[in-house]
Amino acid sequence: MTCNACQSEKQRFFNSEIAIHLPGLDGLDKPLVFVFPKLVVCLDCARTEFTVTERELQVLRQGSPVEGAVVLWPEK
Q: Using 50, 70 and 90 to split pLDDT, how confident is the model at 41?
A: very high
Residue 62 scores a pLDDT above 90: no
Q: Where are the domains of the chain?
A: 11-72
Alpha-carbon span 57 to 60, nearest angstrom: 5
First to last CA, the chain: 46
**For the chain, percent of residues with pLDDT exceeding 90:** 59
Q: Using 50, 70 and 90 to split pLDDT, how confident is the model at 72?
A: confident
**Which H or E run contains 42?**
strand 38-42
CA 48 vs CA 57, 60, 68, 70: distances in Å:
18, 20, 26, 22
